[in-house]
Amino acid sequence: MNRPPLLPCALVAASWAVAAHAQQAEPVALEASRDYLLGASLSSSRDPFGTNEQKLGLRPIWAFQLGRFRFATSGASALLAQGRETVDSGVSTVLARSDLLSLSTSLSIDEGRSWKDDPVYGGLPRVRDTVRGRVTAGVTLSPRWSASLRASQDLLGRDGGLRLDSGLNYRHPLSPQTHWDLSLGIGWANGTYRQTHYGIAPNAATATGLQAYALGSGFDGASLGWRLTSALNRNWVAYGGLSVYQLQGAVSRSPLATRNTTFGATLGLAYRNN
């Protein structure tokens, strides 16, 4: 049974929301060497590749500022964004900022993928860990709408290639302490990235008996997410969200793709010192 494309459905939802208008509080920047966040998140997710089932995991989240540089785990941005600036995971710094535009750069670890415990794809070579350098441009479209474009490049030459990820976000304030976000994202990658993550090389096909699969550059996925974030008091902040991710184009036809659409949910709670 064919599923309806995710991207058009998301655009319909976004078009419905654009009619609303409201003012938001001006974001407050993290104070150098003073602000930090510590917490935990519980998430349910599933990899669209391989035979892994839906997994439930608990992990720590944290963020702090040291001079111009910020250090944060994935998920910390969702909590620090409540009345503050969004923070990328990894090590990041803001290069330029105005009322409408921002430019930042960051480093993060791409953990790759291991197939060793997969009963079907266990003979495939590991997608190696690497360090990715990222440059992110953001634009404020209106008090509620914002957009971003991120370029991410493998810096260690481990066949990680280049990715471009774009996003459109609508924020609806419920109170000065609480808001919800509706986010749409689409991703593009060059041939090196896509072959490493979604392809099967001829020698790997021979060793495993799987069908060889080669693909070039193109769009690989679209996502839609909804998240509610609330400052419970001056120090404690919490969030919860739902997401759906759908593979696109040649990636969805890869022998590694055992499901084209996956769903996720997350809850987070953290303490902020300021």
pLDDT tens track, the chain, 274 positions: 444 444 444 443 443 443 333 333 334 444 444 678 899 999 999 999 999 899 999 999 998 878 788 888 876 755 654 555 555 678 888 899 899 999 999 999 999 999 998 999 999 999 999 999 999 999 999 999 999 999 999 999 999 999 999 999 999 999 999 999 999 999 999 999 999 999 999 999 998 999 999 999 999 999 999 999 999 998 899 999 999 999 999 999 999 999 999 999 999 999 988 6
Question: Which residues does residue 257 pair with via DSSP β-bridges, in sequence order?
Answer: 49
Q: Are strands 145-154 and 162-175 parallel, antiparallel or unpaired?
A: antiparallel
Q: HSE of 158 in the Cβ direction (CA atoms, 13 Å)?
A: 17
pLDDT at 145: 97
- Which residues fall within 8 angstroms of residue 101, CB to CB, at 6 or more apart? 137, 138, 139, 140
Comparing CA positions, the residue from 204, 230, 231, 220 lying closest to residue 257 is 220
pTM of the predicted model as reported, rounded to 2 decimal places: 0.82
pLDDT at 64: 84
